[in-house]
């Protein structure tokens, strides 16, 4: 089998980083300015939303910058299996012997690949922390981590 390599889209990464920066600025603005000058919502709630926005989108922006300078290929398909390096919940090599089904899904305008394995819980046991939580959410929504 030939080796197929699909690189990460640097254009999509740039848009993601730009969006993260925009939301970090908006979160900061919510926290420092809007919270005290609006009367519709509790100012503490607005400040919490601002902080949450800065933390979440700051983290996604940092992840995007790291991915931008990651020289690894996004997806590799070869004789061993599929090597996934596309997102925060990627696990690396998925061997052909473990794969039971491959399917595509589309949410809004985004297409993605679902890879089903013999024992998805085995994959979940290999990871921990935030990555494990992300993969557990994938498992709950799509039936595969």
pLDDT above 90 covers a percentage of the chain that reads: 44
- Provide the pLDDT confidence category of residue 38 given band limits of 50, 70 and 90: confident
Interatomic CA distance for residues 145 and 134, integer angstroms:
8
Q: How many Cα atoms within 13 Å fall on the side-chain side of residue 144? A: 18
**Per-residue pLDDT at 28:** 95
**Domain coordinates in residue numbering, the chain:** 8-68, 75-142
Interatomic CA distance for residues 61 and 32, integer angstroms:
21
Dump pLDDT digits (tens) for 63-82: 999 999 988 888 899 999 99
């Amino acid at each position: 089998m030939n080796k197929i390599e699909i690189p990460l889209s640097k254009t999509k990464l740039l848009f993601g980083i730009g969006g993260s920066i925009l939301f970090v600025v908006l979160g900061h603005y919510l926290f420092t300015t809007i919270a005290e000058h609006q009367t519709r919502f509790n100012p503490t709630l607005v400040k919490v939303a601002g902080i949450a926005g800065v933390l979440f989108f700051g983290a996604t922006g940092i992840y995007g910058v790291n991915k931008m300078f990651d020289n690894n290929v996004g997806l590799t398909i070869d004789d061993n299996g599929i090597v996934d390096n596309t997102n925060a919940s990627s696990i690396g090599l998925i061997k052909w012997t473990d794969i039971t089904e491959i399917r595509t899904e589309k949410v809004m305008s985004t297409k993605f690949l679902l890879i089903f394995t013999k024992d998805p819980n085995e994959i979940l046991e290999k990871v921990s922390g935030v990555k494990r939580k992300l993969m557990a959410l994938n498992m709950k929504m799509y039936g595969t981590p």
